[in-house]
A and B are shown apart, each in its own frame.
Chain A
Amino acid sequence: MNLSIQPVVSGKAASFRDFDVEKIRSDFPVLHREVNGNPLTYLDNGASSQKPKQVIDRMTRYYEHEHANIHRGVHHLSQRATDAYEQVREATCNYLNAASSREVLFTRGTTESINLVASSWGRHFLREGDEIIVSTMEHHSNIVPWQMICEERGAKLKVIPISRAGELDMEALQGLLNERTRLVSVVHVSNALGTINPVEEIIKLAHQHDALVLLDGAQALPHMKVDVSALDVDFYAFSAHKMLGPTGLGILYGKESLLNSMPPYQGGGEMIERVTFEKTTYNELPFKFEAGTPNIADAIAFGSALEYYDELDQNELIAHEQGLLAYASGRLSQIEGIEFVGTARDKAGVLSFNLKDVHPFDVGTILDQMGIAVRTGHHCTQPLMDFYGITGTVRASFAFYNNQSDVDALVGGVEKASAILL
């Protein structure tokens, strides 16, 4: 049986020190630069991951030797580029264990993937009085598109509450689900808290009520493999740039039957239906949803990012990141005045915190002076910040190429920030 998600291995099973992180780091050119006179400590992976030279080289090679517009050219370069582009769709399909590459749509990013579903599926299927469920911990990208379409269609947006630890209230979800629920759209891994949500259970419950499920996987795939078939998820959205790939490319996985039932997203919706020539052009999946020249170079380079992940041992990767998380949590908790935000039992490599009575912006500014890149602010999750009664947090987010020195630098930086600011 396929595991939908690789199990989260505790730090005990495999020490993060066993992972050959130094060899991996040598693949990432940017990790060897200095910032403000210090070696870069890059802990803003939740915002965007750095790129290995394999990905950078692939993009360069494409532009130097292989570039042409795809799909409609009869000449050699166009056919080569088309093959390369479509091979990455196939590779993405395999990576996600989707049933067919027709279920893999290329978009600009997670945000566009969600907007595509909200706009195309929502406009076509939502009726007055229907309900969409999101959660308190959603990124604005998984709130606003639903608010917009709910307003347009007279549907209602319901919100799953969370606990102080940052875990979904699953009992509350059961109470929210009813015959009016059309779709549950929740984050797989929270960008602000790191919480890994119980998505199998959410999908099971939603399907019992004939509701669809969309998962915002932007922060999940960088940390774990996801099997969309085993999960039986209806839509899965994520971004290439958070998982070693280039910026400007996203993926929307959708079940083929669903995607087939949805009208095109771009080109003017209803208008396309009246323009017979356009409709016949974009009639088939996945092209129906990819109007215009696609992001060819970035998609092709993303193929190299997937290959990079495939060469890593997933269990070792998870153990390494969990080890970093445990080590960082342990050391930071020794600092006076530190308050962690998000202490769920199942967490990916995200550590959100505040120093008591200190604005996260001030902490981030001091860390930046020391060459430490973290994110500060509300992380595009204002309703979540409101829930905690804070304006923001300092967020350190780990990737598998981070090492113990990165954590030590972070701890040193936060200690210094604490000394200066408190």
Chain B
Amino acid sequence: MSFSIDEIQDQIIEEFQLFDQWIEKYEYIIELGKNLPDLDDQYMRNENLVPGCQSRVWLHAELEGGKAVYAADSDAIITKGIIALLIRVLSEQPPESVHEAELYFIDRIGLKDHLSSTRSNGLVSMINKMRSVARELAEVA
């Protein structure tokens, strides 16, 4: 059986509680970034590029069996690690759930700064795009 968006968020929060120090947390995020498969070359296109001043993010989405499936990449490894978390939470979920999801885990694991507008790392735009794509997919479905 698969977990809901909030169940996965709670799992991540629990995992991050194991880290006492920022460095362990970042090492884990970097590890996640390294383990996230690179986005297939055919999807590294400009139309999949999410605007961001500092690091660039590419996002590809498609509907598989009524679920929104996301694949993404970034040229910065910490951004990519956070992308891996977002994919774990939002990918393979019903598109309407993605569209309505409240992403509270980011704040709870102490990465809220990464989603502030000044970070310009493309993550805020990426989440917005994940949501808007989900809505489009929901309409198709």
- A384-416, CB < 8 A from B: 391-392, 416
Asked whether, in the complex, the Cβ of B54 is within 8 Å of the Cβ of A421, the reply is: no
Given A377-B53, A377-B54, A392-B54, the answer on whether A365 and B22 have CB atoms closer than 8 Å is no
Q: A359-B75, A361-B76 are in contact. List 4 more A-B contacts (CB 8 A).
A: A358-B77, A362-B30, A365-B78, A391-B75
Q: Chain A contacts of B27 at CB under 8 A?
A: 420
Complex CA gap A358/B23 in Å reads 17
Asked whether, in the complex, the Cβ of B22 is within 8 Å of the Cβ of A369, the reply is: yes
Q: List 5 A-B contacts (CB under 8 A).
A: A359-B75, A366-B26, A377-B54, A416-B23, A421-B30
Q: Chain A contacts of B55 at CB under 8 A?
A: 359, 361
Which single residue of chain B is at the shortest CB-CB distance from A357?
B77
Asked whether, in the complex, the Cβ of B26 is within 8 Å of the Cβ of A361, the reply is: no
Q: Chain B contacts of A36 at CB under 8 A?
A: 22
Complex CA gap A416/B27 in Å reads 11
Encoded as 1 (CB less than 8 Å from any A CB) or 0, chain B from 1 to 44 comes to 00000000000000000000011001100100000000000000
- A334-378, CB < 8 A from B: 358-362, 364-366, 369, 376-377
Given A392-B54, A421-B30, the answer on whether A362 and B22 have CB atoms closer than 8 Å is no
Q: Chain B contacts of A420 at CB under 8 A?
A: 23, 26-27, 30
Among A36, A362, A369, find the residue whose CB has the most chain B CB atoms closer than 10 A: A362
Q: Chain A contacts of B54 at CB under 8 A?
A: 360-361, 364, 376-377, 392
Counting residue pairs across A and B whose Cβ atoms lie within 8 Å, the total is 42
In the complex, how many angstroms separate the beta carbon of A359 from the nearest chain B beta carbon?
Answer: 4
Q: Chain B contacts of A366 at CB under 8 A?
A: 26, 78
Encoded as 1 (CB less than 8 Å from any A CB) or 0, chain B from 58 to 80 comes to 00000000000000000111110
In the complex, how many angstroms separate the beta carbon of A50 from the nearest chain B beta carbon?
Answer: 18
Complex CA gap A420/B27 in Å reads 7
Chain A residues within CB distance 8 Å of chain B: 36, 358-362, 364-366, 369, 376-377, 391-392, 416, 420-421
Q: Chain B contacts of A358 at CB under 8 A?
A: 77
Asked whether, in the complex, the Cβ of A361 is within 8 Å of the Cβ of B30, the reply is: no
Q: Chain A contacts of B114 at CB under 8 A?
A: 365
In the complex, how many angstroms separate the beta carbon of B119 from the nearest chain A beta carbon?
Answer: 9
Among A359, A376, A420, find the residue whose CB has the most chain B CB atoms closer than 10 A: A359
In the complex, how many angstroms separate the beta carbon of A388 from the nearest chain B beta carbon?
Answer: 16
Name the interface size band of chain B: 10 to 19
Asked whether, in the complex, the Cβ of B26 is within 8 Å of the Cβ of A369, the reply is: yes
In the complex, how many angstroms separate the beta carbon of A14 from the nearest chain B beta carbon?
Answer: 38
Q: Chain A contacts of B78 at CB under 8 A?
A: 361-362, 365-366
Which single residue of chain A is at the shortest CB-CB distance from B77?
A362
Partner of B79, one of A361, A369, A376: A361
Judge whether B93 is part of the interface by a CB distance below 8 angstroms.
no
Complex CA gap A377/B121 in Å reads 10
Which single residue of chain B is at the shortest CB-CB distance from A369?
B22
Asked whether, in the complex, the Cβ of B22 is within 8 Å of the Cβ of A361, the reply is: no
Which single residue of chain B is at the shortest CB-CB distance from A377?
B54
Complex CA gap A420/B75 in Å reads 16
Which single residue of chain A is at the shortest CB-CB distance from B81?
A362
Asked whether, in the complex, the Cβ of B76 is within 8 Å of the Cβ of A359, the reply is: yes
Q: Chain B contacts of A392 at CB under 8 A?
A: 54
Q: Chain A contacts of B23 at CB under 8 A?
A: 369, 416, 420
Which single residue of chain B is at the shortest CB-CB distance from A370?
B22
Complex CA gap A230/B121 in Å reads 45
Q: Chain B contacts of A359 at CB under 8 A?
A: 55, 75-77, 79
Complex CA gap A421/B23 in Å reads 11
Query: Top 10 nearest A-B pairs by Cβ distance?
Result: A359-B76, A361-B76, A361-B55, A361-B54, A362-B78, A369-B22, A377-B54, A362-B76, A365-B78, A362-B77
Which single residue of chain B is at the shortest CB-CB distance from A416?
B23
Among B30, B77, B79, find the residue whose CB has the most chain A CB atoms closer than 10 A: B77
Complex CA gap A391/B26 in Å reads 23
Complex CA gap A320/B37 in Å reads 48
Q: Chain B contacts of A360 at CB under 8 A?
A: 54
Q: Chain B contacts of A421 at CB under 8 A?
A: 30, 77
- B51-109, CB < 8 A from A: 53-56, 75-79
Q: Chain A contacts of B120 at CB under 8 A?
A: 377
Complex CA gap A369/B25 in Å reads 11
Among B27, B56, B76, B78, find the residue whose CB has the most chain A CB atoms closer than 10 A: B76
Which single residue of chain B is at the shortest CB-CB distance from A364?
B54
Which single residue of chain A is at the shortest CB-CB distance from B120?
A377
Complex CA gap A366/B81 in Å reads 14
